[in-house]
Amino acid sequence: MFAQLARTGDTREVSELLSKHSLVEQDVETLRLDELFERGWNRLATSYRNEYVYKNELATRLVFKRHSPRTAGFQVELRVGGSIADVVVANGTTTAYEIKTEFDTSKRLTSQTADYLKAFDKVYVVTHPAHVSRYERELDSRVGLVVLSNQHSLTPYREAASNKDNIDPHTIFRCMRREEYITAIETVVGPVPPMPNGLIAAHCEELFRQLTMEQVHKCFVKALKIRTTNKTDVDFVTKLPPSLRALGYATPLSGRQRAAVLGLLTKPVQLS
């Protein structure tokens, strides 16, 4: 819906959806669109803590309060092996967060965290206070636990162990984009010779797998940080209301679409 809003400029579907789920009051037409999103977010975060609530709390509390959007990379839903990490933060090191809300089960958690431990220095499960004991028993001892309290604070319950000596270069290489692994090889090894596109990935991966664990880790940290800490991305997510930060990171939009969204947010809510 966020992408559609950026493409069409039509805000009526947003107001209709929030009203349908009783996430706004009768005074909706007195609000600006950014105020409407904030109103809906507050209701959602209090009464129905779904996965988006967790993702957005991680964006706000880790990137905007603990670190800085200018220095900390924030990636939503990054494929790692056969799993998809809900949130990855890169700021000096790499940390993956798997979200298990109060509505989730622990199904696939063992295989998910095993995949993440092949790529990231720190791995955490973020969950509701009522589920901490269960996950503490089930998780690999290297995986940490963070609790999202009813007061919306993120509290470490069990620290994750550093895992960067156990990462797998093959897994990390497959997480990187073409320009990222070419830059990594050229920085550490030297220029990549001209060759057909069908061969360059295999050539770079062979060289990448010969790097030390420390070099592989540093290349991955740098690549993930660059993805979302450029001035254009930072300016956009910083101007969004707090309720939309995770969406801002997760939704690929053109410059024109981003400008359209920011303009719409300052205007009165449009009703059918």
Question: What's the pLDDT at 24?
Answer: 63
Give yes or no for a contact between 216 and 167, defined as CB atoms under 8 angstroms apart: yes
The arithmetic mean of pLDDT across residues 234-248, rounded, is 97
Q: Judge whether residue 1 has pLDDT over 90.
A: no
DSSP string for 126-169: EE-GGGHHHHHHHS-TT-EEEEE-TTS-EEEEEPPPP-GGG--H
Question: What's the pLDDT at 266?
Answer: 94
Of 228 and 6, the structure prediction assigns the larger pLDDT to: 228
The arithmetic mean of pLDDT across residues 178-199, rounded, is 94
Question: What's the pLDDT at 29?
Answer: 73
Q: How many CB atoms lie within 10 A of CB 272?
A: 7
Quick: pLDDT tens for 86-95.
999 999 999 9
pLDDT grade, residue 197 (50/70/90)?
confident
